[in-house]
Amino acid sequence: MDKLDFNIESLGNAKINSPMKNVQFINENAKVLFEPRLEIIKEKIAQGIEPEAFNIAGPREKIYFDPSKLRTGIVTCGGLCPGINDVIRAIVFSLYHHYGVRNIFGFQYGYEGLIPEFQHPVIELDPDFVEDLHEKGGTVLHSSRGPQNVVDMVDTLERMNIGILFTIGGDGTLRGARDIAEEVKKRGLKISVIGIPKTIDNDISFVQQSFGFETAISEAKTAIYGAHVEANGAKRGIGLVKLMGRHSGFIAANATLATSDVNFCLIPEVPFKMENLLKALEERFKRKNHAVIVVGEGAGQDLFDDNRQFDKSGNLIFHDIGTYLKNQINDYFNEKGEPVNIKYIDPSYIIRSVPANAHDSVLCLLLGHNAAHAGMAGYTNVLVGSWNRRYILVPIPAAVSKRKKINPEGSLWNSVLASTGQPVL
Amino acid sequence: MDKLDFNIESLGNAKINSPMKNVQFINENAKVLFEPRLEIIKEKIAQGIEPEAFNIAGPREKIYFDPSKLRTGIVTCGGLCPGINDVIRAIVFSLYHHYGVRNIFGFQYGYEGLIPEFQHPVIELDPDFVEDLHEKGGTVLHSSRGPQNVVDMVDTLERMNIGILFTIGGDGTLRGARDIAEEVKKRGLKISVIGIPKTIDNDISFVQQSFGFETAISEAKTAIYGAHVEANGAKRGIGLVKLMGRHSGFIAANATLATSDVNFCLIPEVPFKMENLLKALEERFKRKNHAVIVVGEGAGQDLFDDNRQFDKSGNLIFHDIGTYLKNQINDYFNEKGEPVNIKYIDPSYIIRSVPANAHDSVLCLLLGHNAAHAGMAGYTNVLVGSWNRRYILVPIPAAVSKRKKINPEGSLWNSVLASTGQPVL
Amino acid sequence: MDKLDFNIESLGNAKINSPMKNVQFINENAKVLFEPRLEIIKEKIAQGIEPEAFNIAGPREKIYFDPSKLRTGIVTCGGLCPGINDVIRAIVFSLYHHYGVRNIFGFQYGYEGLIPEFQHPVIELDPDFVEDLHEKGGTVLHSSRGPQNVVDMVDTLERMNIGILFTIGGDGTLRGARDIAEEVKKRGLKISVIGIPKTIDNDISFVQQSFGFETAISEAKTAIYGAHVEANGAKRGIGLVKLMGRHSGFIAANATLATSDVNFCLIPEVPFKMENLLKALEERFKRKNHAVIVVGEGAGQDLFDDNRQFDKSGNLIFHDIGTYLKNQINDYFNEKGEPVNIKYIDPSYIIRSVPANAHDSVLCLLLGHNAAHAGMAGYTNVLVGSWNRRYILVPIPAAVSKRKKINPEGSLWNSVLASTGQPVL
Amino acid sequence: MDKLDFNIESLGNAKINSPMKNVQFINENAKVLFEPRLEIIKEKIAQGIEPEAFNIAGPREKIYFDPSKLRTGIVTCGGLCPGINDVIRAIVFSLYHHYGVRNIFGFQYGYEGLIPEFQHPVIELDPDFVEDLHEKGGTVLHSSRGPQNVVDMVDTLERMNIGILFTIGGDGTLRGARDIAEEVKKRGLKISVIGIPKTIDNDISFVQQSFGFETAISEAKTAIYGAHVEANGAKRGIGLVKLMGRHSGFIAANATLATSDVNFCLIPEVPFKMENLLKALEERFKRKNHAVIVVGEGAGQDLFDDNRQFDKSGNLIFHDIGTYLKNQINDYFNEKGEPVNIKYIDPSYIIRSVPANAHDSVLCLLLGHNAAHAGMAGYTNVLVGSWNRRYILVPIPAAVSKRKKINPEGSLWNSVLASTGQPVL
């Protein structure tokens, strides 16, 4: 791995005293190590290499923007994820109550909301408007997929005199945020762009756990419970659950650990041969009368003849591995004259749309607060994340440089193998 | 409607004193009116017609079987439904604790369990075995679909010296129970056959509300909530939920009332034209940016070119109305150049497999107790149901004579129209 | 029982055509029998007695009020209960969408809202305001206890030119509604007063099941589960749960049936001797290592030396039977040198404040619709309820004539005894 | 802080090859830093101080015990906590499936189970017995409080020829485990003692988050929701919730962040003056009509005249701060003639007894696996915990040296203040 650059960018000197009271301000140089393994750190220091570390997020004693004159905007992009409304609410509460900012605008329907021709009116956000937002799934600002013209978006920000833009979204949204920040810089504007990473798949680099992920695991557990009960109810029953995870199998892996009912977990990072899976199922049916399979949506894409298509956001359209598995398994056992009873469950939309659970509510609250603190301090082109139980700031360009994936040699996948007892497929 | 015959059949004189203590025994002639409308009853009586009425279920002072010598069996058939385990548990508890019966056998995998060649061992059931059963979805006895040879099944009952057979299952299972009862009678055996109607669709006649139905509505509410949130999250979003209900739309209708988020409810009993639905959607998008559609799985089957297929149980295989609607709606709006954003949810297996909620737990408990009471009293070829808040006994032949359906002119459908505001489609 | 008078009162001839479309209107003479037992009805008719019956609720073809000029009000009184917000929402939706009424006022903080000196502003209610109300527990109109001056309240109605007043509340609230209706009549005004009975205890006569009751049972199940787990966790563990039910034990009885973990259920209608309970516990500990007790809050009040106090609403203040039982049981077993481990749980406020579950959401929706229909048709001094699966109208004076209680000789208590196996205490 | 000693103890050389397949073994020297702050680590290394670090847990390539001959025991002590059964199950599964251990005994009712005179039979544990255990709250092995004679306990272990003892319990239990380990060492026995820290309060040092804690927050959220709804329902309503936390306010603080409905959060670590709280409430009622207070059970103990009592385990018996606050607040506002409407909720037993949620299920699974790995490797007098997302081994003596508490100057309490907006009390 190349030396990672986690230095964060700022709009300039923060000279205004923060209006926050009763609070421990965070030193702007406080950092948390990227890698907390003792032997690795000692080795680096011995070699004279500064260990990589992230800036710790939090309220700063000096802020960049004058709250009384500041105008801010929030936009939500991409697919739904539990907790978006919590984040919006937390940003509004922090801007309003912690700093006294009175102009907070919600852009509707994702980046479209920044493009005049779509004619989506902005919403004025204040504590009354967001009061009960955390009890609702989805996003009150609505969303859309796909990039928009960066020049037009920055024109809008300039025209509206926006000082901080908060973008809540995934990989594509963060790339958009980076592009906006760069255009802003090119024009010499003083607009801070702060990302709050939203990925139910939990696949953004340097974001140890994204909001909504724990809630997704909870809901996935319900679906796997159903698959297990259904598999058990019938002779030679198979419960097959497709879970979210296009490039990374974090949901599938964690849901597998959370239920202990899963016999086969298939993820994008660990290729498998259909033949091996079928043989393993056959073996299992010699011992047991049922089986439960969990598959991440991006798993087994190499099993399809390639003919890749892309959606409006430029995201790859995935082949439907769930239906494929269902058909292959049915065909195989039908041909053998030993039919199985497959129940296929795709709970994705139910999972995405629930309100955040308690864990994610806390996470969203503190991400929102820290996003507000980061913006007020004048940082830009950064996202807020958490790392080893500290909230941190990460340069967006670093975070979008590559996807976070499960390490097939690491402890998470190790635990999945230990829990399922599945063979190498 | 022909005069309905609700007279129940019995194996003979019940002469043994019930061992139950501290209990109000039910008079065997106590009846509850089929039709509780005053004007109808007065009219019938004025005309000298005895109003139809059901025997009230409950413990009888005299019982037919000697508990110390009685051997009993329980079988569960067909698809899963919340509460099956509760019913098994309640029967076992009542037989064991109320009557002192010590031989209770569970036949596994539905009627297959009564056929020697399948070699499914019987399970001995007692209070310890069933203690925590109500906390689990599914059926601990497993299930299978389809009828089995009646002669073989009665041979098994005779060979095992079973006195009461409890069958938990739907329409097909009840027909099987009726056939067993008739074969038993032909042979002059003294075997009581008691049905506990299981239909998540709530479509068995003279069973006002089947167990698992309320739980299903609760779970369906979660799916519809998701559909609503997803529809709202996107531009021109449509949330489409397919719910169970092959012949009857009770789940779709009640879930619609339970959520208040549904704009169009489609059920088997009320045909619709695709053209009208598309127009109505178009109208809605002029006023609102999203729509929620709930469709019962048996709705709109006339929209398909007919080519009906049947499964092993002889049940019609239904065309997939959910996918059909999704495609038709997408095509229509794409052609118009005004694409919509459909999220299609099929939560069926998740709904079927959850444990019973509090309402259904009570229902299952009392159905199980009353099934035990009915069997001990020597009734046969009857099912236990509830009617206007009394538990009743219904002759199985009457119950399977036709499906229960929603009356398109009645108050339930009326309420659905009033709640959705949907036009005639 | 005296002959019951269920004739409903109306303000006068309903002459205006209902604006409702696509709807089956209910004949104003349609009635459902109070008593659905065949033998009882036959006997009555044979004796020339008209069987008691309730008017069936629902939309009428002719209505009394002109929607375009009508002004209406809603008030919520007494303790919280799941579903109040659902009822408010359903009334507003029905008045607005079914009839086109545009003036709907919410009086705040119960009957106080009708008394000028409290200065509680009225809230204007419309579909936007109530849109998401069903997702929230409590009452958006807030509540208060206790009666207010009837003359002052009718002055307010007259001054505001209110045509229909909807009162959502329990026994005391209904008495207030009756008094308002009588004062209105005395003054010759044309104001309809419609009650929607709210009683989490389910103890209002001729209201077969009140809204919120099923939700309460669901939540009580969670508390009893906890009591069972705690009792089981320790040596000689006792889980003791106090549930709502001042005069009637419906919640305690139904929650007992819903969980099957309860060993002793104590309700107000069935007195018990402390000595017997202690002996029965002692007996149980010879066989088992734990016990679960559920007690309705009004149970065992005769065990206290009397010194009754009343609250502001004139309701009796109950002695705390939960703490009393806890102390008595601890003392008894401590004295014997065989201490027990009691965990006492009082979940009342948690239960009361949750949103309605799916069952109650349907009930609230249809109660609200039918309340609106009843008011529009010009009925007054009536409440909406349900009876044997029909929605009905009941004269308020009949409903408040006495409390509904569990019959210790009836099937519900019978089932509780059969489920717990508890001896006569 | 003194230099912490995190060196772990072992029974001797592990020479046997692990039977685990397909697994990445953990190097026994792999360590994770106690403190991940860059500047602190650099400073230490510059001063020639070795930074404190924990051994990383996980399967070792060489194990100490021969699985085919090994006999193991599990004991659960102290109060209930969500997830105990999950931990038991995970240990059994790992010992059985990962290592082939066939003798696993459950000691019942805590340390009493190791004392002959209590005559609690041991339970033989195997995968069938523990299969569905994770679906149940509580502990299948039951529990008790208080220490037992160490000599007697080690006699039992010796007599039964136990090689590994797993103790699941809190601070007192860990002290007991340490004492057992020391007695074992004194006798020169080869018995490994492995602790799995159980503390719903999350107050054990070097255990970053204990199992059951997240579940507790989820359930506490429900209670606070109820308090908020009740407070809102009445005039001048106050919802008061007492949450667990004798020495540490982690539950109160996190539940406050999870709900955003709390106006005052009171914890043991931050003393408050009653007078200030009453004034602050008074101020709030000038602006709002309701307030929500959350109090940890150990908060405000200095407000009571001291007269401390201790329970059987030697734990301090706490004064009931909830009831105290309720009375003080009532008295204060009654005296002022401005009465408030307090609803007091104590949900502790409901919270403790629920099954683990998805998050805690994963945590319990991996704690159980790692406990088995640690025991098999021959470590002793250690507990398994997690630290910055790695599973670690901590010497029990270090962990019980002092309680973990919230730092009133740290980021958690900072966030609570920022979320509630409460003044210094």
Examine the domain organization and report whether C280 and C198 are in the same domain.
no
Q: How far apart are CA A191 and CA A211, in angstroms?
A: 25
**Residue B382 · residue B396 · CB < 8 Å:** yes
Do A17 and A142 sit in the same domain of this protein?
yes
Q: B135 — contact with chain D (CB < 8 Å)?
A: yes
- A136 interaction partners in chain C (CB closer than 8 Å): 132, 135
Residues of chain D neighbouring B136 (CB-CB closer than 8 A):
132, 135
Of D86, D171, D179, D201, which one is the catalytic site residue?
A: D201
Q: Which residues contact B287 (CB under 8 A, 6 or more apart)?
A: none
Interface residue A208 vs chain D (CB under 8 A)? yes
Work out how many domains chain C is built from and give that number: 2
**Coil/strand/helix, residue B379:** strand
Whether residue D85 lies within 8 A of chain C, CB to CB, comes out as no
**Does A229 contact B109 at a Cβ distance shorter than 8 Å?**
no
Same domain, D200 and D148: yes
- Candidates A107, A120, A224, A349, partner chain B, best to mutate (most B CBs within 10 A): A349
Measured between beta carbons, which residues in chain C are less than 8 angstroms from residue D139?
A: 233
- Residues B218 and B224: their CA atoms lie apart, in Å, by 10
Same domain, D227 and D337: yes
Helix (H) or strand (E) holding C141: none
Query: How confident is the model at residue C23, as a pLDDT?
Result: 86
Most B CBs within 10 Å, among C29, C35, C414, C416, to test the B interface: C414
How far away is chain A from the Cα of C190, in angstroms, using its nearest Cα?
39
Task: Please give the Cα distance from C304 to C327 (Å, whole number).
Answer: 13
Asked, for residue A360, whether it belongs to a domain, the answer is yes
The shortest CB-CB distance from C418 to any of B41, B51, B369 is to: B369
pLDDT for res B380: 98
Q: What's the confidence (pLDDT) of residue B424?
A: 87
Span between the terminal Cα atoms of chain A, in Å? 29
pLDDT of C1 reads 44
How high is the pLDDT of residue B23? 86
CATH number at residue C320: 3.40.50.460
Contact state of D23 with A254 under an 8 Å Cβ cutoff: no
> In the numeric block, which tokens belong to residue B19?
């061992």
Give mean pLDDT, residues D210-236: 96
Residue B166 lies in a domain: yes
Q: Specify whether C280 is located in the same domain as C321.
A: yes
Put simply, whether B66 touches D (Cβ < 8 Å) is no
**In chain B, % of residues over pLDDT 70:** 97
Mean pLDDT value of segment D226-238: 96
Helix (H) or strand (E) holding B353: none
Same domain, B99 and B191: yes
Domain boundary residue, one of C353, C383, C407: C353
User: A124 touching C, CB under 8 A?
Assistant: no
**CA B85 from centroid of its chain's CA atoms:** 14
Q: What is the mean pLDDT of chain B?
A: 94
- B135 CB neighbour count, 10 Å cutoff: 18
Cα D13 to Cα A380, B360, D190, D378, D380, distances in angstroms: 54, 58, 12, 8, 13
User: What count of Cα atoms within 13 Å lies in the side-chain half-sphere of residue D332?
Assistant: 16
For residue D344, the chain C residues in CB contact (below 8 A) are 349
CB distance from B85 to chain C under 8 Å?
no
Torsion of CA C24, C27, C33, C38, to 10 degrees: -80
- How far does B30 lie from chain C, in Å, by closest CA? 7
Q: For residue range B237-289, what is the model confidence (pLDDT) as tens digits?
A: 999 999 999 999 999 999 999 998 999 999 999 999 999 999 999 999 999 99
Q: What is the CA radius of gyration of chain A?
A: 23
Residues of chain A neighbouring B349 (CB-CB closer than 8 A): 226-227, 230, 239, 343-345
The C-alpha atoms of residue C165 and residue D50 are separated, in whole angstroms, by: 77
Is the confidence at residue D222, as pLDDT, over 70? yes
Give the CA radius of gyration of chain C.
Answer: 23
Hey, which chains touch B, using 3+ CB pairs under 8 Å? A, C, D
Q: Which of B86, B201, B203, B360 is the catalytic position?
A: B201
CA B114 – CA B154 distance, rounded (Å): 8
Domain boundary among C353, C384, C407: C353
Closest approach of D379 to chain A, Cα-based (Å): 20
Judged by CB atoms closer than 8 Å, whether chains meet at B142 and A352 is answered as: no
Report residues of chain C scoring pLDDT below 70.
1-3, 306-308, 311-315
Report which DSSP code applies to B400: T
**Test mutation, A134, A224, A232, chain B, max B CBs within 10 A:** A232
**Pair A186, A226 in one domain:** no
Beta partners for residue B63, in sequence order: B16
Contacting residues of B for A137, CB less than 8 Å apart: 225-226, 229
Residue B255 has which token pair? 């879930």
The residue behind tokens 């697919």 is A79
Longest dimension (CA), chain B: 78
Query: Do B230 and A349 lie within an 8 Å CB cutoff?
Result: yes
- Report residue B408 as tokens: 């398109």
- With a cut of 80, say whether residue D14 has pLDDT above it: yes
pLDDT at C401: 87
Helix (H, G, I), strand (E, B) or coil at A161: coil
Could you give the C-alpha distances from D254 to A9, A23, A209, D83, D270, in angstroms and in order?
Answer: 32, 18, 18, 19, 15
What DSSP designation does A348 have? H
CA C257 to chain centre: 20
Enter the DSSP assignment of D72: E
Instruction: Looking at the complex, report in whole angstroms how far the Cα of residue B150 sits from the nearest Cα belonging to chain C.
Output: 35
Put simply, whether A144 touches B (Cβ < 8 Å) is yes
CB proximity C232 to B under 8 Å: no
Q: Is B4 on the interface with C (CB under 8 A)?
A: no
Of the listed ranges C153-167, C182-196, D267-281, D310-324, the least confidently predicted one is D310-324
Instruction: Tell me the CATH number at B169.
Output: 3.40.50.450
Q: Are A349 and B142 inside 8 Å of each other by CB?
A: no
Full domain range(s) for residue B44:
9-210+356-399
Listed as ranges, residues in chain A with pLDDT below 50 are 1
Show which subunits contact D, needing at least 3 CB pairs below 8 angstroms. Answer: A, B, C
* For range D218-244, the mean pLDDT: 96
Q: What are the tens digits of pLDDT across the range A228-268? A: 999 999 999 999 999 999 999 999 999 999 998 999 999 99
B122 in the same domain as B23: yes
Q: Confirm whether A418 is domain-assigned.
A: no
Give me the residue label for tokens 């509540």.
C143
Residues 6+ apart with CB under 8 A from C211: C81, C82, C83, C86, C87, C196, C198, C356, C360, C363, C364, C367
Q: Does A18 touch chain D (CB under 8 A)?
A: no
Does C135 contact chain A (CB < 8 Å)?
Answer: yes
Whether the pLDDT of residue B321 is over 90: the answer is yes
Q: Is D218 on the interface with C (CB under 8 A)?
A: no
Window 396-425 of B: residues touching C by CB (8 A cutoff) are 409-411, 414-415, 417-419, 421, 423-424
Distance, in angstroms, between B291 CA and closest chain A CA? 14
pLDDT in tens, D173-190: 999 999 999 999 999 999
B65-70, long-range: CB < 8 A, 24+ apart? B65/B16, B65/B163, B65/B164, B65/B192, B65/B375, B65/B376, B65/B378, B66/B16, B67/B19, B67/B95, B67/B99, B67/B100, B67/B101, B67/B376, B68/B100, B68/B102, B70/B99, B70/B101, B70/B103, B70/B163, B70/B164
**B141 occurs within a structural domain:** yes
A230 vs chain B: nearest CA distance in angstroms? 6
Residue B225 with chain A: CB contacts under 8 Å: 137, 353-354
CA angle (A355 as vertex; A352, A361 as ends), nearest 5:
115
Active-site positions of C read: 201
8-state DSSP, D183: H
Q: Is the ipTM of this complex over 0.85?
A: yes
Q: What is the per-residue pLDDT for D305?
A: 74
pLDDT tens, residue by residue, B13-36? 999 999 998 788 999 889 999 999
Model confidence at B1, pLDDT cuts 50, 70, 90, reads: very low
At residue D312, the pLDDT reads 63
Of A92, A99, A100, A105, which Cα lies nearest the Cα of A59?
A99
**Is A343 part of the contact surface with chain B (CB cutoff 8 Å)?**
yes
Nearest to D87 by CA among D371, D361, D374, D368: D368
Q: Are D340 and D159 in contact (CB under 8 A)?
A: no
| Whether residue B184 sits in one domain with residue B110 | yes
Considering the domain architecture, whether residues C300 and C378 belong to the same structural domain is answered as no
Task: Tell me the sheet residues that pair with D341.
Answer: D237
Report yes or no on A4 lying in a domain.
no
Place of tokens 């092995």: D141
CB pairs under 8 A between A and D: 158
CA distances in angstroms from A100 to A160, B404, D283, D417, listed in the order given: 19, 62, 20, 16
A135 touching chain C per CB within 8 A: yes
The residues that bridge with B296 in the sheet, in sequence order, are B243
Domain membership of residue A417 (yes or no) is no
Closest CA to A39 of A24, A51, A27: A51
Classify residue C155: in a domain, yes or no.
yes
Neighbours of A131 (CB within 10 A): 14
User: C289 and chain B: CB distance < 8 Å anywhere?
Assistant: no
**Does residue B305 carry a catalytic annotation?**
no
Contact criterion met (CB < 8 Å) for C142 and D80 = no
Considering the domain architecture, whether residues D268 and D349 belong to the same structural domain is answered as: yes
Nearest to D196 by CA among D186, D184, D204: D204
What was the pLDDT predicted at A1? 44
Average pLDDT of chain D to the nearest whole number: 94
Distance CA C372, CA C382 (A): 12
Mutate to test the interface with B, among C214, C362, C420 (most CBs of B within 10 A): C362
Residues 168-197 of A with CB under 8 A from D: none
D294 domain-assigned: yes
For residue B61, the one-letter residue type is E
Same domain, B288 and B198: no
| Mutation site, D130, D135, D140, D354, interface B, largest B CB count within 10 A | D135
User: Residue B132: its chain D contacts at CB < 8 A?
Assistant: 132, 136
User: Do B64 and B164 meet the contact criterion of CB atoms below 8 Å apart?
Assistant: no
Name which of B61-75, D274-288, D316-330, D363-377 the model is least confident about: D316-330
The nearest CA of chain B is from the CA of D288 a distance in Å of 31
* Beta carbons of B388 and C53 less than 8 Å apart: no
